Chains A and B, each alone.
Chain A
């Protein structure tokens, strides 16, 4: 086993490199993905090594990126599209929800769009507007799209390759504020034996309450669990990883043991993933629950100016506060 210590960003870069090596039909396309290596350097060095036919700097038009990727997919390619920031995916929204998502259905299974749409998402980096959003619910709400998100370098490395290998169109959400976090990555384990893409995973075992999180909030939830442990409370943290389809098997099992559940995400609470998750947990674990499922989310406002984003974003205190409330019910 060859374990390297990589940042989450470098793990994605390494995973993309693998995908390009393994399948000549894989092409990367997006704004500034070539010489610049993307504004976050996730495609750093790839154009140099694979050429500008495989790592394509596109004109500045998101609808064009996704629309042409549909055509490439029909032609047999496996496009991996980079959207520069979450807030810039919307010009492509029509192509994604009306075209990408429905091709397989409309063609009665004859057309596959094995496309990956990579989107750095979420806040916490002090950015100006449109650079900190969490659009996952828009995509998870759309039948025909799958939505996944990674929370650590190992998953980043594996999941990006699994997403590219999958014949489903997949929105691949990258927690941009965690790009620089380091962790061990096994770069040699065979992909076929890897943990399945559309499965959640327990990130920390615990007995007193269950915290469900994904993407950038997994780190926050784990920090909350560490803090709670100092106060003698053991939180179980589940990293959901797949947002559509949701995999709540581990969550159900956990909540049936703990009786308490808090869902955390950065996106606004109203009709966010947390709503669906809370409903399902309630249906599945009703007789085990000691309190309602609580949500810790961004507020139902536009993403605010960066000087107040700390207060907007769920943090350790807000997670612990919610956990406390499940005990006070």
Chain B
């Protein structure tokens, strides 16, 4: 079990109450002590060292921190870690298996859906949520589903193509 009290303190400041929470992260239960003010994004990055979830703004605007919470996409910088107690979350680290990329990751590779890659984990998690709800989206529906995720590099064109590529592959695989 790891402990995370504040940013990176070995122990909580005196008199600061912490809570022991258990969160299922990519299928594995993780128990951790947190201060209530700790954001879920920081718990993932600093506490569990899952640095795939990015943190791109202070204003809840960019979507780089998007993860799935009980299957729906959320901005992990806009939820407290304590709120995830007893819940299941998925991060970008949960996409690939040890031997195979997820079709969404493959799509981003095939269609050059990233340049710097900063927005990519958030883009992929938002895409996963879309494709679970709607396995055969139109281009418009992809654009709409990703409209809460900002990319400063690609101009979005190739991101949309990547998701459509993944959708096609996933449909083919499920047939």
Question: Are A and B physically bound partners?
Answer: no
**Residues of B with Cβ closer than 8 Å to A?**
none
